Structure 1
Amino acid sequence: MAQQQHDGSSQSSDLLSLLSAWGNNFTTQTSNTFSRLRTQDYIRLVVIIGGYCLLRPYLMKLGAYMQNKQHQTDARASKDEDTVAGAKLTANDLRGRTTQRPKIAIPGVDSDSEDEDKDDWGRAARVRQRKFVRQMLEIHEKKLRDEAEANSDKDIEEFLID
Protein backbone atom coordinates (compact mmCIF):
# COMPACT_ATOMS: atom_id res chain seq x y z
CA MET A 1 0.00 0.00 0.00
CA ALA A 2 2.81 2.37 0.84
CA GLN A 3 4.47 1.46 -2.45
CA GLN A 4 1.36 2.52 -4.42
CA GLN A 5 1.21 5.90 -2.68
CA HIS A 6 4.88 6.47 -3.44
CA ASP A 7 4.30 5.67 -7.13
CA GLY A 8 1.43 8.18 -7.29
CA SER A 9 3.53 10.98 -5.83
CA SER A 10 6.40 10.23 -8.22
CA GLN A 11 4.00 10.36 -11.17
CA SER A 12 2.69 13.75 -10.09
CA SER A 13 6.24 15.07 -9.63
CA ASP A 14 7.15 13.71 -13.09
CA LEU A 15 4.14 15.47 -14.55
CA LEU A 16 5.05 18.74 -12.82
CA SER A 17 8.64 18.52 -14.02
CA LEU A 18 7.43 17.82 -17.58
CA LEU A 19 5.09 20.83 -17.51
CA SER A 20 7.88 22.97 -16.07
CA ALA A 21 10.24 21.86 -18.84
CA TRP A 22 7.61 22.67 -21.47
CA GLY A 23 7.09 26.12 -19.97
CA ASN A 24 10.82 26.82 -19.89
CA ASN A 25 11.25 25.61 -23.48
CA PHE A 26 8.37 27.79 -24.66
CA THR A 27 9.68 30.96 -23.03
CA THR A 28 13.25 30.29 -24.20
CA GLN A 29 12.26 29.52 -27.78
CA THR A 30 9.92 32.51 -27.98
CA SER A 31 12.49 34.97 -26.65
CA ASN A 32 15.20 33.54 -28.94
CA THR A 33 12.91 33.71 -31.97
CA PHE A 34 12.11 37.39 -31.53
CA SER A 35 15.66 38.35 -30.61
CA ARG A 36 16.98 36.82 -33.86
CA LEU A 37 14.52 38.60 -36.18
CA ARG A 38 15.97 41.01 -38.71
CA THR A 39 14.23 44.09 -40.10
CA GLN A 40 13.15 42.11 -43.15
CA ASP A 41 11.61 39.46 -40.90
CA TYR A 42 9.69 42.10 -38.93
CA ILE A 43 8.38 43.62 -42.18
CA ARG A 44 7.34 40.18 -43.42
CA LEU A 45 5.58 39.48 -40.11
CA VAL A 46 3.73 42.81 -40.21
CA VAL A 47 2.66 42.25 -43.84
CA ILE A 48 1.35 38.76 -43.07
CA ILE A 49 -0.58 39.85 -39.98
CA GLY A 50 -1.87 43.01 -41.67
CA GLY A 51 -2.94 41.08 -44.76
CA TYR A 52 -4.78 38.60 -42.59
CA CYS A 53 -6.55 41.38 -40.70
CA LEU A 54 -7.55 43.13 -43.93
CA LEU A 55 -8.67 40.01 -45.81
CA ARG A 56 -10.42 38.18 -42.96
CA PRO A 57 -13.74 40.11 -43.15
CA TYR A 58 -13.96 39.53 -46.89
CA LEU A 59 -13.15 35.85 -46.49
CA MET A 60 -15.82 35.57 -43.79
CA LYS A 61 -18.39 37.23 -46.07
CA LEU A 62 -17.42 34.92 -48.91
CA GLY A 63 -17.79 31.90 -46.63
CA ALA A 64 -21.18 33.14 -45.39
CA TYR A 65 -22.32 33.70 -48.99
CA MET A 66 -21.23 30.22 -50.03
CA GLN A 67 -22.88 28.69 -46.96
CA ASN A 68 -26.12 30.60 -47.59
CA LYS A 69 -26.10 29.49 -51.22
CA GLN A 70 -25.61 25.86 -50.15
CA HIS A 71 -28.44 26.15 -47.60
CA GLN A 72 -30.75 27.56 -50.26
CA THR A 73 -29.98 24.74 -52.68
CA ASP A 74 -30.53 22.18 -49.90
CA ALA A 75 -33.81 23.84 -48.90
CA ARG A 76 -34.94 24.00 -52.52
CA ALA A 77 -34.13 20.31 -52.99
CA SER A 78 -36.00 19.28 -49.85
CA LYS A 79 -38.94 21.52 -50.82
CA ASP A 80 -39.06 19.88 -54.25
CA GLU A 81 -39.07 16.45 -52.61
CA ASP A 82 -41.89 17.52 -50.28
CA THR A 83 -43.87 18.94 -53.18
CA VAL A 84 -43.51 15.75 -55.20
CA ALA A 85 -44.42 13.58 -52.21
CA GLY A 86 -47.28 15.79 -51.02
CA ALA A 87 -48.82 16.80 -54.35
CA LYS A 88 -51.13 13.81 -54.60
CA LEU A 89 -54.59 15.32 -54.96
CA THR A 90 -57.82 13.55 -54.27
CA ALA A 91 -61.26 14.39 -55.60
CA ASN A 92 -62.21 15.90 -52.25
CA ASP A 93 -59.17 18.18 -52.39
CA LEU A 94 -60.31 19.50 -55.75
CA ARG A 95 -63.87 20.02 -54.51
CA GLY A 96 -62.60 21.88 -51.46
CA ARG A 97 -64.12 19.42 -49.00
CA THR A 98 -60.98 18.72 -47.04
CA THR A 99 -60.51 19.70 -43.43
CA GLN A 100 -56.79 20.16 -43.95
CA ARG A 101 -55.02 23.00 -45.67
CA PRO A 102 -54.14 22.35 -49.29
CA LYS A 103 -50.86 20.56 -49.75
CA ILE A 104 -49.86 22.60 -52.77
CA ALA A 105 -47.60 25.51 -51.97
CA ILE A 106 -48.63 28.78 -53.59
CA PRO A 107 -45.66 31.08 -54.26
CA GLY A 108 -45.75 34.33 -52.32
CA VAL A 109 -48.30 33.09 -49.80
CA ASP A 110 -47.15 32.08 -46.31
CA SER A 111 -43.55 32.70 -47.18
CA ASP A 112 -41.27 35.36 -45.81
CA SER A 113 -38.60 34.84 -48.42
CA GLU A 114 -39.06 38.40 -49.70
CA ASP A 115 -38.34 39.73 -46.21
CA GLU A 116 -35.22 37.62 -45.78
CA ASP A 117 -33.23 39.28 -48.54
CA LYS A 118 -30.16 40.96 -47.11
CA ASP A 119 -30.57 44.06 -49.26
CA ASP A 120 -34.15 44.71 -48.10
CA TRP A 121 -33.55 44.74 -44.36
CA GLY A 122 -35.30 47.76 -42.87
CA ARG A 123 -36.81 48.84 -46.18
CA ALA A 124 -40.34 49.15 -44.79
CA ALA A 125 -39.08 51.16 -41.83
CA ARG A 126 -37.16 53.50 -44.13
CA VAL A 127 -40.21 54.02 -46.34
CA ARG A 128 -42.38 54.64 -43.28
CA GLN A 129 -39.84 57.14 -41.94
CA ARG A 130 -39.69 58.99 -45.29
CA LYS A 131 -43.48 59.26 -45.41
CA PHE A 132 -43.52 60.58 -41.86
CA VAL A 133 -40.84 63.19 -42.63
CA ARG A 134 -42.71 64.28 -45.78
CA GLN A 135 -45.94 64.66 -43.82
CA MET A 136 -44.21 66.69 -41.12
CA LEU A 137 -42.60 68.93 -43.77
CA GLU A 138 -45.97 69.46 -45.46
CA ILE A 139 -47.58 70.37 -42.13
CA HIS A 140 -44.73 72.77 -41.33
CA GLU A 141 -44.91 74.39 -44.78
CA LYS A 142 -48.69 74.73 -44.51
CA LYS A 143 -48.29 76.36 -41.12
CA LEU A 144 -45.72 78.79 -42.54
CA ARG A 145 -48.04 79.62 -45.47
CA ASP A 146 -50.95 80.25 -43.11
CA GLU A 147 -48.80 82.54 -40.96
CA ALA A 148 -47.56 84.39 -44.04
CA GLU A 149 -51.16 84.88 -45.24
CA ALA A 150 -52.19 86.09 -41.80
CA ASN A 151 -49.29 88.56 -41.76
CA SER A 152 -50.15 89.82 -45.22
CA ASP A 153 -53.77 90.30 -44.12
CA LYS A 154 -52.58 92.34 -41.13
CA ASP A 155 -50.50 94.56 -43.42
CA ILE A 156 -53.53 95.18 -45.63
CA GLU A 157 -55.73 95.92 -42.60
CA GLU A 158 -53.39 98.72 -41.54
CA PHE A 159 -53.89 100.46 -44.86
CA LEU A 160 -57.64 99.90 -44.91
CA ILE A 161 -58.33 101.20 -41.39
CA ASP A 162 -56.28 104.41 -41.67
Structure 2
Amino acid sequence: MADELTGLVTHLGESVWNLTTLLADRTTTNVGSSITNMTAQQWIRLIAIVGAYALLRPYVIKLGAKHQEKQFEKAQQEVAEISPNQLRGELGIPEESDDDDDVQGETTGADWGKKARKRQRNMIKQLLDAEEKRLQETIDEQEDKDIEEFLVE
Protein backbone atom coordinates (compact mmCIF):
# COMPACT_ATOMS: atom_id res chain seq x y z
CA MET A 1 0.00 0.00 0.00
CA ALA A 2 2.82 2.41 0.90
CA ASP A 3 4.60 1.62 -2.39
CA GLU A 4 1.45 2.41 -4.36
CA LEU A 5 1.06 5.71 -2.52
CA THR A 6 4.70 6.63 -3.15
CA GLY A 7 4.32 5.78 -6.84
CA LEU A 8 1.16 7.87 -7.07
CA VAL A 9 2.84 10.88 -5.45
CA THR A 10 5.85 10.53 -7.77
CA HIS A 11 3.60 10.29 -10.83
CA LEU A 12 1.59 13.30 -9.66
CA GLY A 13 4.78 15.32 -9.10
CA GLU A 14 6.03 14.45 -12.59
CA SER A 15 2.65 15.43 -14.09
CA VAL A 16 2.68 18.80 -12.37
CA TRP A 17 6.27 19.43 -13.49
CA ASN A 18 5.44 18.48 -17.10
CA LEU A 19 2.40 20.79 -17.08
CA THR A 20 4.46 23.66 -15.67
CA THR A 21 7.21 23.30 -18.26
CA LEU A 22 4.62 23.00 -21.06
CA LEU A 23 2.93 26.26 -19.97
CA ALA A 24 6.25 28.08 -19.67
CA ASP A 25 7.43 26.91 -23.11
CA ARG A 26 4.16 27.81 -24.83
CA THR A 27 4.02 31.23 -23.17
CA THR A 28 7.56 32.17 -24.22
CA THR A 29 6.99 30.82 -27.73
CA ASN A 30 3.67 32.61 -28.23
CA VAL A 31 4.82 35.94 -26.77
CA GLY A 32 8.08 35.79 -28.72
CA SER A 33 6.35 35.03 -32.00
CA SER A 34 3.73 37.73 -31.38
CA ILE A 35 6.43 40.34 -30.91
CA THR A 36 8.52 39.27 -33.89
CA ASN A 37 5.53 39.04 -36.25
CA MET A 38 4.07 42.48 -35.43
CA THR A 39 3.65 44.95 -38.28
CA ALA A 40 4.55 48.63 -38.08
CA GLN A 41 0.87 49.55 -37.64
CA GLN A 42 0.53 47.14 -34.70
CA TRP A 43 3.70 48.56 -33.09
CA ILE A 44 2.38 52.11 -33.44
CA ARG A 45 -0.98 51.04 -31.99
CA LEU A 46 0.74 49.34 -29.02
CA ILE A 47 2.98 52.36 -28.35
CA ALA A 48 -0.04 54.71 -28.55
CA ILE A 49 -2.01 52.61 -26.06
CA VAL A 50 0.86 52.33 -23.59
CA GLY A 51 1.68 56.04 -23.94
CA ALA A 52 -1.93 57.11 -23.45
CA TYR A 53 -2.13 54.92 -20.36
CA ALA A 54 1.07 56.41 -18.96
CA LEU A 55 -0.09 59.99 -19.65
CA LEU A 56 -3.72 59.66 -18.52
CA ARG A 57 -3.24 57.44 -15.45
CA PRO A 58 -2.25 60.24 -13.02
CA TYR A 59 -5.25 62.35 -14.07
CA VAL A 60 -7.65 59.44 -13.69
CA ILE A 61 -6.23 58.75 -10.22
CA LYS A 62 -6.64 62.41 -9.21
CA LEU A 63 -10.20 62.45 -10.54
CA GLY A 64 -10.99 59.29 -8.59
CA ALA A 65 -9.46 60.78 -5.43
CA LYS A 66 -11.59 63.94 -5.77
CA HIS A 67 -14.73 61.89 -6.27
CA GLN A 68 -13.90 59.73 -3.26
CA GLU A 69 -13.18 62.82 -1.13
CA LYS A 70 -16.56 64.34 -2.07
CA GLN A 71 -18.32 61.11 -1.12
CA PHE A 72 -16.44 61.04 2.21
CA GLU A 73 -17.34 64.66 2.99
CA LYS A 74 -20.98 63.98 2.13
CA ALA A 75 -21.03 60.98 4.46
CA GLN A 76 -19.35 63.02 7.24
CA GLN A 77 -21.86 65.82 6.79
CA GLU A 78 -24.76 63.38 7.09
CA VAL A 79 -23.25 61.99 10.28
CA ALA A 80 -22.62 65.48 11.66
CA GLU A 81 -26.29 66.42 11.21
CA ILE A 82 -27.15 63.93 13.97
CA SER A 83 -26.36 65.34 17.39
CA PRO A 84 -24.76 63.17 20.08
CA ASN A 85 -27.91 63.46 22.19
CA GLN A 86 -29.94 62.00 19.34
CA LEU A 87 -27.54 59.08 19.12
CA ARG A 88 -27.76 58.18 22.79
CA GLY A 89 -31.35 59.32 23.30
CA GLU A 90 -32.66 62.52 24.75
CA LEU A 91 -31.99 63.05 28.45
CA GLY A 92 -35.08 62.75 30.55
CA ILE A 93 -37.92 60.42 31.20
CA PRO A 94 -39.56 58.91 28.15
CA GLU A 95 -43.19 59.80 27.78
CA GLU A 96 -45.69 57.23 28.94
CA SER A 97 -48.31 56.30 26.43
CA ASP A 98 -51.55 54.39 26.66
CA ASP A 99 -50.21 51.46 24.71
CA ASP A 100 -47.44 50.89 27.29
CA ASP A 101 -49.90 49.06 29.55
CA ASP A 102 -49.64 45.29 29.51
CA VAL A 103 -51.59 43.92 26.60
CA GLN A 104 -53.54 40.74 27.19
CA GLY A 105 -53.31 38.00 24.59
CA GLU A 106 -50.63 37.28 22.05
CA THR A 107 -47.53 39.43 21.78
CA THR A 108 -45.96 40.47 18.54
CA GLY A 109 -42.39 41.47 17.71
CA ALA A 110 -43.31 45.12 18.27
CA ASP A 111 -44.46 44.36 21.85
CA TRP A 112 -41.22 42.74 22.97
CA GLY A 113 -39.57 45.96 24.18
CA LYS A 114 -42.47 47.32 26.25
CA LYS A 115 -41.28 45.81 29.52
CA ALA A 116 -37.74 46.98 28.90
CA ARG A 117 -38.95 50.52 28.18
CA LYS A 118 -41.00 50.47 31.40
CA ARG A 119 -38.01 49.24 33.42
CA GLN A 120 -35.81 51.92 31.90
CA ARG A 121 -38.38 54.63 32.54
CA ASN A 122 -38.74 53.53 36.18
CA MET A 123 -34.97 53.39 36.62
CA ILE A 124 -34.56 56.91 35.23
CA LYS A 125 -37.30 58.16 37.56
CA GLN A 126 -35.57 56.55 40.54
CA LEU A 127 -32.21 58.05 39.58
CA LEU A 128 -33.71 61.50 39.16
CA ASP A 129 -35.56 61.23 42.48
CA ALA A 130 -32.36 60.12 44.25
CA GLU A 131 -30.42 63.03 42.72
CA GLU A 132 -33.11 65.52 43.75
CA LYS A 133 -33.10 64.11 47.28
CA ARG A 134 -29.29 64.36 47.47
CA LEU A 135 -29.36 67.95 46.23
CA GLN A 136 -32.09 68.85 48.72
CA GLU A 137 -30.05 67.34 51.57
CA THR A 138 -26.94 69.28 50.58
CA ILE A 139 -28.96 72.48 50.39
CA ASP A 140 -30.46 71.78 53.84
CA GLU A 141 -26.99 71.08 55.26
CA GLN A 142 -25.68 74.31 53.75
CA GLU A 143 -28.55 76.26 55.29
CA ASP A 144 -27.88 74.63 58.69
CA LYS A 145 -24.23 75.67 58.48
CA ASP A 146 -25.24 79.23 57.63
CA ILE A 147 -27.57 79.34 60.64
CA GLU A 148 -24.91 77.90 62.96
CA GLU A 149 -22.57 80.74 62.04
CA PHE A 150 -25.01 83.27 63.43
CA LEU A 151 -25.80 81.37 66.62
CA VAL A 152 -23.89 82.52 69.65
CA GLU A 153 -22.93 79.98 72.21
Find the counterpart in structure 1 of residue 61 from structure 2: 60
Counterpart-to-counterpart distance in 1, 2:81 and 2:56? 37
Aligned to 1:120: none
Q: CA deviation at 1:86?
A: 5.1
Matched residue SS, 1:81: coil
Matched AA of 1:27? T
Separation in 1, partners of 2:48, 2:8: 52
C-alpha displacement of 1:88: 7.1
Report whether the alignment pairs 1:31 with 2:46.
no
The AA in structure 2 aligned to 1:23 is A
User: Cα distance, 1:81 vs. partner?
Assistant: 2.6
Indicate yes or no: 2:21 matched with 1:20: yes
Q: Cα distance, 1:47 vs. partner?
A: 0.4
Runs of 5+ unmatched residues, structure 2: 93-153
Distance 1:63 1:56, change over 3 A: same
What CA deviation, in whole Å up to 9, does each residue of 1:57-94 have, x standing for no partner?
00000000011111111111112234571597769xxx
Structure 1 distance, partners of 2:22, 2:72, is 48
Aligned pairs (5 A) from 1:1-162: 1-83=2-84, 85=86
Bigger radius of gyration, 1 or 2?
Answer: 2
Unaligned runs of 5+ in 1: 92-162
Larger relative contact order (CA 8 Å, sep ≥ 6): 2
Sequence identity percentage: 24
Give CA-to-partner distance per residue, 1:136-161, whole Å, 9 cap, x none. Answer: xxxxxxxxxxxxxxxxxxxxxxxxxx
Report the RMSD for the aligned CA atoms in angstroms.
2.1
**Count of residues paired in the alignment:** 91
